[in-house]
Structure 1
Amino acid sequence: MERRVLGRTGRLVSVVGLGTWQLGADWGDVEEGDARAVLDASAEAGVTFFDTADVYGDGRSEQIIGSYLADNPGHGITVATKMGRRDAQDPDNFTLAKFREWTDRSRANLRTERLDLVQLHCPPTAVYSRDEVYDALDTLVADGAVASYGVSVETVDEALTAIARPGVASVQIILNAFRLKPLDEVLPAASAAGVGIIARVPLASGLLSGKYTRDTTFADDDHRTYNRDGSAFDVGETFAGVDFETGVEAAHQFSDLVRDTVAQDLTPAQAAIAWIWQQPGVTTVIPGARNVEQARSNAVAGSAEVLGPLFASGIREIYDEHIRAAVHDRW
């Protein structure tokens, strides 16, 4: 699998990483043994970047990763976690004292003295512009609690604000065939500044696998059921903010596009992942996986041949016809 340097962290990571929200909560139940099997299959397939957060399963995702890595010394895996959603989303809560509290908890969960990368977890927009926030993050680095810091954002404007800060190593943002806006300004700005881009929600919560129909249902504790209206968190995190029925129709067209224009034997999900990491400026893509088969299938996309301009133009056509009006100006 191809590897790239993750921005100002200086770390070499696989172009396909692993998002571990699924292993903590909000995607239905995943047993710990199954979660560890996903981590193991990903590592065996060449994945060297795990992304987690302190709120995934109230720390369960971090704990499972910490246990797995402790049992596999010399693993060479970079772990990125996130902080900031354990308290009320008030900009005044983003202080050095809170940062120390949150990172101390993550260090214990991950069984490490120093976190590889800690990201602000989609905080209120005002946080990205506060000098004291970055001063506090710089202090964490100076203290040795974290090696590098970055941000996870909801909007293009938040990303551009963070990229302008000299200490920000990486920006995590939703980027997929149904969320193209970051291609216009964020990726070029990140490349120019030497900031890494971590692309999340690459399959639009599974839509781009092409396996869903209008009748597909999800468990009650799955965010694809309870957050369709954005009542739990930003609706852009669920199906990339696309109405489910619209997304299903667009996803079927995407599957047809893969079949008609991709010479390799790739599934729609693999093609969706490969297309993202092949965009200039993207460092790594973090699809999730609930089982070993999904983990191995996702990793295959990290060695896919370059997808051609016909595929890219087809994505644009689908986006413009079905998606743009609903999402482009919102995020």
Structure 2
Amino acid sequence: MFASRKNCSAIEHNLNIFESAEAIIDICESNNLASINRSPLAMGLLSSKFNINTKLPQNDVRGAGHEWVQYFEDGKPKQEFLDKLSSAREILTSGGRSLVQGALAYIWAVGDNTIPIPGFRNVKQAEENARAMEFGPLSKEQINEIDYILGRK
């Protein structure tokens, strides 16, 4: 397997509350590899900026109609993900965290080697991302509750 090869040090993959990657995280942990996590904020859906009335323009990748855009369709957030977010919001924002900080805390809690790469467009967003470290990861109980709510357990 590639993960056990001498020059392998990390695996980059999608990971967020909607998209678990237990098998990849297990591979990373058993081979002492970094788990570099794309889309930890689900293309911004986990930022509280979007709702069912949101319509992004076609010049935004989320509104361009690409098949690989999982959380949006025709520039609108998909209802199934808005519903999942609504179900998990209280846990993610526990302890005074913002939704973004909770989404990052989720990733830190699912594995010892997880490294989320959140996007940001301005200094305020970068600072919010960085402040997530002040809260640390969610508890294992919170992770289990989110997994249960989202139908993974």
Structure 1 length normalisation: TM-score? 0.41
Alignment partner of 2:133: what SS? helix
Separation in 2 of the partners of 1:280 and 1:247? 23
Contact kept in structure 2, 1:173 and 1:200, CA below 8 Å:
yes
Tell me the residue number matched to 1:223.
61
Contact kept in structure 2, 1:254 and 1:268, CA below 8 Å:
no
Q: Which runs of at least 4 in structure 1 moved beyond 6 Å after TM superposition? A: none
Whether 1:266 aligns to 2:104 is no
Alignment partner of 1:166: what SS? coil
Judging changes above 3 Å, is the alpha-carbon distance between structure 1 residues 214 and 240 closer, same or farther for their aligned structure 2 residues?
closer
Q: CA deviation at 1:192?
A: 2.1
Alignment partner of 1:213: what SS? coil
Tell me the residue number matched to 1:190.
28
**Identity of matched residues, %:** 26
Q: CA deviation at 1:240?
A: 8.7
Separation in 1 of the partners of 2:80 and 2:52? 9
Tell me the residue number matched to 2:126.
295
Tell me the residue number matched to 1:205.
43
- Written as runs of structure 1 = structure 2, the 5 A alignment for 1:235-274 is 235=68, 238-239=70-71, 244-259=78-93, 262=94, 264-274=95-105
Judging changes above 3 Å, is the alpha-carbon distance between structure 1 residues 186 and 285 closer, same or farther for their aligned structure 2 residues?
same
Alignment partner of 1:173: what SS? strand
| Length, aligned pairs only | 149
Contact kept in structure 1, 2:72 and 2:78, CA below 8 Å:
no
Q: Which residue identity lines up with residue 254 of structure 1 in the other structure? A: A
- Written as runs of structure 1 = structure 2, the 5 A alignment for 1:31-70 is none
Separation in 2 of the partners of 1:294 and 1:203? 12
- Written as runs of structure 1 = structure 2, the 5 A alignment for 1:1-331 is 161-180=1-20, 182-183=21-22, 185-227=23-65, 229-230=66-67, 235=68, 238-239=70-71, 244-259=78-93, 262=94, 264-320=95-151
- CA deviation profile, 1:267-319 (whole Å, cap 9, x unmatched): 11111111202322434110000111111101111232342233212211232
Contact kept in structure 1, 2:25 and 2:111, CA below 8 Å:
yes
Separation in 2 of the partners of 1:305 and 1:169? 24
Separation in 2 of the partners of 1:314 and 1:166? 37
Rg bigger for which structure? Answer: 1
Structure 2 unaligned runs (5+)?
A: none
Contact kept in structure 2, 1:162 and 1:171, CA below 8 Å:
no
Structure 1 unaligned runs (5+)?
A: 1-160, 325-331
Tell me the residue number matched to 1:3.
none
Contact kept in structure 1, 2:35 and 2:115, CA below 8 Å:
yes
Alignment partner of 2:12: what SS? strand
Q: Which residue identity lines up with residue 288 of structure 1 in the other structure? A: G
Separation in 2 of the partners of 1:240 and 1:175? 16
Separation in 1 of the partners of 2:2 and 2:98? 35
Judging changes above 3 Å, is the alpha-carbon distance between structure 1 residues 251 and 274 closer, same or farther for their aligned structure 2 residues?
same
- CA deviation profile, 1:23-72 (whole Å, cap 9, x unmatched): xxxxxxxxxxxxxxxxxxxxxxxxxxxxxxxxxxxxxxxxxxxxxxxxxx
Judging changes above 3 Å, is the alpha-carbon distance between structure 1 residues 282 and 221 closer, same or farther for their aligned structure 2 residues?
farther
Separation in 1 of the partners of 2:79 and 2:41? 15
